[in-house]
Amino acid sequence: MTMARAKDPSKDSGGAQLGTLLGCFTPSMLTILGVIMYLRTGWVVGNAGLLPTLAIVLLANGITLITALSISAVATNMHVGMGGDYYLISRSLGAEIGGAIGVPLFLSRALSLTLYAFGLAESLRIVWPGVPAQPVAAATIAVVALLSVRGAALALKLQLPIMAAVALSLISLAAGGSFEGKVPVFWGEYPEAADGFWQVFAVFFPAVTGITAGLALSGDMRDPQRSIPRGTLAAVGVGLVVYLAVPIVLAFNASTDELLHDSLVWTRIAAVPVLILPGLWGAVFSSAVGSALGAPRTLQALAQDGIIPRFFARRPLKTGESAVAIAASTAIALAAVLLGGLNAVALLVTMFFLTTYGMANLVAGLEGLVGDPSWRPGFRVPWPVSLAGAVSSFWVMFVIHRGACIAAIAVEVGVWLWLKRRRLRSTWGDMRRGLWLSVARLALINLEWLPGNPRNWRPHILLFSGSVRKRLELLRFASWLNQDRGILTVCDLVEGSLDEGSLDEGPVERGSLGAAPPGEAQLGILEREADINRFLRDRNVVAFSEVNVVDDFERGVVHVAQANGIGGLRSNTLMFGWTDDPERMAAYLRIMRRVHALRQSMVICRIAPRATFEWKKQIDIWWRGKQHNGDMMLLLAYLLSLNAEWRDTTIAVKCVASSEVAKVEAEEDLEELIPRARIPAESKVLLKPADRSVAEVMREESREAEVVFMGLMDSAPGEERAYAERLMELTKEFPCVVLVRNAGMYVGQLLEDTSATPDGTADR
């Protein structure tokens, strides 16, 4: 899979000339004061009554206000490039999440153009009942698209007279209203809203979702860090005042029946009725202009980041916009006209916009909570407020329409999974690393405070792998042993000197752990570590990596073992691959004796590819009991059997007894141990024939076993080589053998039930 590298389009718009008024306030304001205000506010009042309507307005605007504050905080903490809300989310939560929001957001803006075009056509039916909706909608899209080609500045200047028309219609409504002689309906009976308050709330809420219309033009603003907070908050404030005033005027000047059924009720109240329709048509048209300007810019930003093919960012116009992006957005909007009606899609569009609201709040809340040093916004909002806005946004999605909410989330999760498979690599720093660092720090602190217990033990393996490219089977086996429950650290130990500059560019000679594979360039330390990480990731091995330069192998292993880990999360098991060199095996045994004082266990493995031999699906554990290695061997074998590749494998605990008395005692011990350990295993005690050695019995019994576990014992200083040679002779016929030395904090206790007694200790 080709890796897409995301590029930060920080200064890519040649038309960055808009100020706060045209760039943010006007498009946001005209989207807020749109078709819902003219055609649905009366319906809301007629159903809910005046007081619940005002509660709906305050609740909806409260969520919008929090979102505006969060957007302002994020926008004043970074350079804001093309893409608006997509840009803010992707630079904070990463390319994958940004793309998962950005792709549906683009489609929503393109389809919104169709929705507003249909809205304009349907509003014309008030005075022209037979108007053909589809041709008028298509013509509206074409006109708006031509305006967007000329650039945002020209299109938005045309919105100034529209703003004036909307203002005149509101003044006419207020001037024609009277507050004498009629008592409004304060508490409605919801005659056309069977689900009551929340159904009416769902109809009204899209009225306040227009604040991202200005944010979408961030790439066209001279100073988005200044314009976005000022323009967005001003639009929210003015919108709140208007939406509090209009229901009051309507409630005092129209009956419930008129509010519910008369689309022209504004004209019957206004002092100058002729001013209402131009305001309505202008508001709907301006909303279409905002969608036509926002959709291509979102698409262009997605293309510049490598989320979608870069083709969509090509053929820039003089204004800096992509002609391909404009054409694609217009084509989608025109194609949607053929559907004839977009009621179902309209719900999905609202869901996508609300998801953007929720994510913008989430970004601001998490940034404040994590407290990265880079979080220095010029406009600060307490993080609990932003997180409350995020929860409220997602809650509103669910209230408005559960099915559309689930569908929108499913689409976004699907896009996110698709982008994860592509493994996008963004070159900007986002907050995810800071978030996980905060979580990790909190976890480590709590882990350090909590007392340890054998019940919680799991292998944290420090694997001295040598050349990872030659030891893939060993890496996989180490991962199987901790069953993705513990921490696996892969260490490439290099014998040499750490000269100045070798961290980045100097070649470092690999020591006797293995020569570099043919064709592999000699890499610096950091480059080699990055190469190991790529190797592990490409082969789906979950592990950390480190490269350490030491002047002596044995001393180096001990030093690395002491330094590895942090807090309560330290490596407790050292692991080595097999060697046929007796002296190197003796070195492992000397290391084993030294790390015993560190309470670190030791595992030495000889691993053969599983397809090489026709093995029985059986894991044999040779139990002696004298060195207390048995509990760790049995636990490791159990963890191994839990992996998908090792399911249906039988675990057999075996022992060689020298006499009948010893055989009976061993059988009794194993029959008691295995049920208490709650590990599905068989037991078998063999009586050693007089004419055969223990080694011969073991080799004969486990010749066809898939894995053989055996315990290690400490050898006297100076006798390590002799012991190593005996081990090599004993195991030479086993294709896969695991030698274990248990030296951890819970030697002999790993299979005990420490909850059996009140003080938490096991009965022994």
pLDDT at residue 329 is higher than 60: yes
Distance CA 356, CA 212 (A): 9
CATH 3.40.718.10 fits 578-752, yes or no: no
pLDDT at 653 over 60: yes
Task: Give the CA dihedral 144, 147, 153, 154, nearest 10 degrees.
Answer: -120
pLDDT at 739 over 90: yes
Tens of pLDDT, residue by residue over 572-622, are: 899 999 988 999 999 999 999 989 888 899 999 988 765 555 566 889 999
- Other Cβ atoms less than 10 A from the Cβ of 291: the count is 29
Give the count of beta carbons closer than 10 Å to the beta carbon of residue 432. Answer: 16
Rounded to an integer, what distance in angstroms lies between the CA atom of residue 360 and that of residue 73?
10
Chain-centre distance for alpha carbon 726: 52
CATH 3.40.50.620 domain extents, the chain: 578-752
Res. 25: pLDDT tops 70: yes
Report which residue type is found at 748: G
Q: What is the DSSP letter of 741?
A: E
Instruction: Label residues 194-227 b or e (16+ Cβ within 10 Å = b).
Output: eeebebbbbbbbbbbbbbbbbbbbbbbbeebbbb
pLDDT by residue (tens digit) across 253-294? 999 999 998 877 898 899 999 999 899 888 888 888 888 888
Contact 200, 189 (CB under 8 A): no
Q: Average pLDDT in the 691-703 region? A: 86
Give mean pLDDT, residues 628-657: 87
Return the pLDDT at 603: 94
Sign of the alpha-carbon dihedral angle for 309, 310, 315, 320? positive
Q: Can you give the pLDDT at residue 513?
A: 39
CA distances from 23 to 26, 28, 233, 291, 443 (A): 7, 9, 13, 14, 45
pLDDT tens, residue by residue, 120-176: 887 787 777 778 888 888 998 998 888 877 766 666 777 889 899 999 999 999 999
Task: Give dist(CA 575, CA 580) in Å, integer.
Answer: 16
* Residue limits of CATH 1.20.1740.10 in the chain: 5-426
Quick check: 182 pLDDT over 70? yes
Predicted confidence at residue 517, as pLDDT, reads 42
| Helix, strand, coil share of the chain (percent; to 5) | 60, 10, 30
Q: What Rg do the C-alpha atoms of the chain give, in angstroms?
A: 36
457 pLDDT higher than 90: no
Question: How many C-beta atoms lie closer than 10 Å to residue 258's C-beta?
Answer: 16
Domain 5-426 maps to which CATH number in 3.20.20.60, 1.10.1740.10, 1.20.1740.10, 3.30.70.100? 1.20.1740.10
Residue 192 has a CB neighbour count (10 Å cut-off) of: 11
Closest by CA to 458, choosing from 215, 745, 682, 669, is: 745
Give the Cα separation of 174 and 340 in Å (integer): 36
pLDDT score at 758: 45
